[in-house]
Amino acid sequence: MDYLPLFFDLKKRSVLLVGGGDVALRKARLLQRAGAHITLVAHCVLPELQELLALNEGQVIIGEYHPKLLDDKVLVLAATDDAQLHARIHYDAVARNVPVNVVDNPELCTFVFPAIVDRSPIMIGISSGGQSPVLARLLRAKLETLIPFGYSRLGQLAGRFRDKVKARFGTLSERRVFWESVLQGQVAERVLAGREGEAEALLEQQLEAGGTSTGVGEVYLVGAGPGDPELLTFKALRLMQQADVVLYDRLVSEQVLDLCRRDADLIYVGKQRDHHAVPQEGINQMLIDLARQGKRVVRLKGGDPFIFGRGGEELAELKQAGIPFQVVPGITAASACSTYAGIPLTHRDYAQSVKFVTGQLKNRATELNYAELIQPNQTIVFYMGLHTLHLLCKGLIMHGKPADTPAAIISRGTAADQQVLVGTLATLPALQEKAELPAPALIVVGEVVELQSRLSWFGEARSEGE
C-alpha cells in the first residue's frame, strides 16, 4: 500500500493554497466544497478565484509566500509553475508536520488528492498514487455510472435513523441484518425514485415491526431500448442487476439480457405476429403473483414501455392489485433506429412534426387516419409494419400522398447487422420483396429520408437500383 486512504474533516479549518491560476481554482473549489477556510497567496489571482474566496469567507494575499503562513494550517497545497518555490513549501511543511500536496509532483507530496465520487455522506476516493491520474479518473467515471446520485439521500436517511435503529436492536449483528434488508429493499428503491416521504414511512414501519418487511415485492417496468446495450439508461441497468426475476420480450437483445443479474430467473414472454408465448392476461397475472411472493421483478421491454409496448395495461393491473411499481423509460426504436440509419426525424427544411404509428393492423387497411398521415412537412414512422408494407404504401398513395415520397426500411436498427433499404412509397414494397430484410424493422416515410445517403454512419444501406 503506497498510501493510507484517509478522509479529512476540513469544516471551518484553515488551509493554505499557494497559486492563483486555473489549477489553484480547481483545488479551491474542492476545498470549498469540503467546508475549508482558505488562505490563498499569489502574485496574480484569477478574478473567478477571487470571487469564489470572497463568497466563502476566504482570504487572498497578493504577494510572496513565507513560512509563517503555515501557522495554524492543517493542510497546504502548492499550485504554481515555480519548481523552487514548490521545494521550499514542501520543506517548510514537512518541518512543521503539516500535510502538503504539490500539484503534479508526487515526490513533494505527503498526501495526494484522489479522483472523487461524491455521494455525500458516501464518499469514494480513487488514487493511483500519482502514477496515472488519467486511469484514476477513468475508474471514477465507471463508478459514476453505477452509483446513482440518490445514494446521497439514502445515506442521509440512514444517518437520521441511526440512533433509532441502535436503540431498537441491541446487538451489532441484528443492526447489520436490519440495515442490509433496508438498503437492498423497497426503502432504498423509494429513495432512489425520489419518493423519500414514502421511504421514511416504510422505514418507520419496518423498524416498529422489528425488521420484517411487508412481504410484497415490486415490479420495475424497464425499457430495454432497441438492442444496443450501451443505449440503456443507468437506472435500467441498476434495476436489471438487482432483479430476482426478469420477464422479457422477443425484441430484447441477448446483449441486454446478459446485463441482468446472473442468478435471476429469466422468463420469456415474447410475442410474435399471430403467436404469443404467454397471453397478455397471463403476463399481468404473473407479475402480480411474483411480486406477492416478495420478489423484485423486472418487466423488460424492447424500446420504450409506453410506446406500443402495452406498458399502460400492465401497470393498470398492478395498480389495481396494490403492487408497488416503477417505470424506467427506454430509447424508443423510432428515435434510436432512425438516428443509427442517418435519418433525422425532424429537420427545419423537411419536417416539423413526426408521427409514430403501429403498422400491425387488425383490419389490414381500415384503421389508419390517412387524412392526418398525408399532411406535408411531416415524418411518419411505422412500427411493426413490415408484413403490411404494401398496404401501408398503397393506402398513403390512394389518400393523396405523392408516390415519389421518400421511404425507408430500417431492419434490426442499432444492431451490428443493421440494414437500411431506401426507396419511395411506390417502389419500397418491390424492393423489400427482393431484399427480404428481416424483422424487427421500422418504416420511415417523409422527405427526411433523402438525407440518409449524406448522413449515414452505421450499418449497411441499399437504395433503388442496387
Could you tell me if 55 and 71 lie in one domain? Answer: yes
Q: How far apart are alpha carbons 333 and 408 in whole angstroms?
A: 14
44 is in an annotated binding site: yes
8 is a domain residue: no
> Scanning the structure block, which residue is given the C-alpha cell 514537512?
94
Could you tell me if 279 and 199 lie in one domain? Answer: no
Strands 419-424 and 406-411, by their bridges, are: antiparallel
Could you tell me if 232 and 304 lie in one domain? Answer: yes
Could you tell me if 97 and 47 lie in one domain? Answer: yes
Domain boundary among 113, 135, 165: 113
CATH number of the domain within which 429 lies: 3.30.950.10
Could you tell me if 178 and 77 lie in one domain? Answer: no
Could you tell me if 176 and 83 lie in one domain? Answer: no
277 is a domain residue: yes
Domain boundary among 67, 94, 113: 113
List per-residue pLDDT tens for the chain, 466 residues long.
888 888 999 999 999 999 999 999 999 999 999 999 999 999 999 999 999 999 999 999 999 999 999 999 999 999 999 999 999 999 999 999 999 999 989 899 999 999 999 999 999 999 998 888 899 999 999 998 888 899 999 999 999 999 999 999 989 988 988 998 899 888 998 999 889 999 999 999 989 888 766 567 899 999 999 999 999 999 999 899 989 999 999 999 999 999 999 999 999 998 765 555 688 899 999 999 999 998 999 999 999 999 998 999 999 999 999 999 999 999 999 999 999 999 999 999 999 999 999 987 655 445 789 999 999 999 999 999 999 999 999 999 999 999 999 999 999 999 999 999 999 999 999 999 999 999 999 999 999 999 999 999 997 766 665 5
423 is in an annotated binding site: no
Could you tell me if 300 and 348 lie in one domain? Answer: no
Q: Give how far Cα 165 sits from Cα of 107, 121, 177, 205, Å.
A: 46, 18, 11, 12
> Scanning the structure block, which residue is given the C-alpha cell 435513523?
161
Q: Could you please report the per-residue DSSP string of 115-163?
A: EEEEETTEEEEE--TTS-HHHHHHHHHHHHHHS-THHHHHHHHHHHHHH
Exposed / middle / buried, residue 99 (Cβ in 10 Å: 0-12, 13-18, 19+): middle
2 is a domain residue: no
Q: Which cell numbers in the block locate residue 392?
A: 401501408
DSSP conformational letter for 458: S
Could you tell me if 340 and 448 lie in one domain? Answer: yes
Which residues carry out catalysis? 249, 271
226 is in an annotated binding site: yes
302 is in an annotated binding site: yes
Domain boundary among 284, 309, 328: 328
1 is a domain residue: no
Number of domains present in the structure of the chain: 4
Q: How far apart are alpha carbons 283 and 299 in whole angstroms?
A: 9
Q: How far apart are alpha carbons 223 and 251 in whole angstroms?
A: 11
Domain membership of residue 183 as a residue range: 150-208
333 is in an annotated binding site: yes
43 is in an annotated binding site: yes
304 is a domain residue: yes
CATH number of the domain within which 236 lies: 3.40.1010.10
22 is in an annotated binding site: yes
Could you tell me if 93 and 182 lie in one domain? Answer: no
Q: How far apart are alpha carbons 205 and 222 in whole angstroms?
A: 28
The vertex-176 CA angle with 172 and 179, nearest 5°, equals 135
Could you tell me if 455 and 394 lie in one domain? Answer: yes
DSSP conformational letter for 400: T
CATH number of the domain within which 22 lies: 3.40.50.720
